[in-house]
Amino acid sequence: MTYAPCERAGNAPTDDPGDLATKYNIVEIFHSVQGEGFHNGIPHVFIRFGRCNLRCEWCDTNFDEYESMNALDILGEVMKYPSKRIIFTGGEPMLNDLWPLSRLLKRRGYHLSIESNGTVEIPEGMLDWICISPKDQVYPNITIKQRTGDELKCVYVGQPLSLYDDLVAGFRHHFLQPCYDEHASVEENGRAFAITEAVVKEHTTWRLSLQTHKWMGIL
């Protein structure tokens, strides 16, 4: 039997050695407060995966720099923190087989969320919360394969909301989020915020999501 480093022998669940040995490309693992969307304000452990199949111009993640970690080491890192909630993010986490890691975490009582661009279908039952952030406002030819979930979160850059007419029915919550530019002034970011706020006021099935962690200057 193999144990995560912070588990005492006798208390750990029996794990599949293959699951524990599964390798993932990891940019970073950190503990912070979710700053956007439905779970805004709730502490989570973020597992940021390397690689993405898109290249959005506003992307704030250096997903090309990562290290290989096996699931056992990821468990050890995650279990250093008090939060029992995890967000798989990236890059695009669904470029990985998340089943082995999800099995290990679920057996330890973790609530698992994902933030994905929706270009890869997510297996049913693997996760507890699915947040899809489609990027078809910049990639009109990309097909969104994951068309159901808990949260649809769209970065608003002036695109018509009719883009999402076929998608909204599959999701319980709909968020519009202004694009935060870390090189712009507070006033310039505030203008993008005001434009998105005005759109939400006119389209009341959508809610405003702000990247509050960026406004606060935290991870």
Site of interaction with ligand SF4 (CB under 6 A): 52, 54-56, 59, 61, 63, 90-92, 117, 135
Which is closer to ligand SF4, CB of 72 or CB of 154?
Answer: 154
One DSSP character per residue, 99-145 reads HHHHHHHHTTT-EEEEEE-SSSPPPTTS-SEEEE---TTT-TT----
Smallest distance, ligand SF4 to C-beta of residue 219, A: 16
Distance (Å, rounded) from C-alpha 208 to C-alpha 219? 20
Which is closer to ligand SF4, CB of 54 or CB of 198?
Answer: 54
Distance (Å, rounded) from C-alpha 179 to C-alpha 194? 11
Smallest distance, ligand SF4 to C-beta of residue 38, A: 18
Which is closer to ligand SF4, CB of 59 or CB of 218?
Answer: 59
Smallest distance, ligand SF4 to C-beta of residue 160, A: 20
Which is closer to ligand SF4, CB of 52 or CB of 200?
Answer: 52
DSSP state for residue 162 in the 8-state scheme:
G
Closest by CA to 72, choosing from 40, 50, 100, is 100
| CB burial of residue 199 (10 Å; 0-12, 13-18, 19+) | middle
Q: How do strand 111-116 and strand 85-89 relate by DSSP bridges?
A: parallel
Taking the mean position of all CA atoms in its chain, how far away is CA 62?
15
Which is closer to ligand SF4, CB of 21 or CB of 54?
Answer: 54
Smallest distance, ligand SF4 to C-beta of residue 195, A: 20
Smallest distance, ligand SF4 to C-beta of residue 140, A: 14
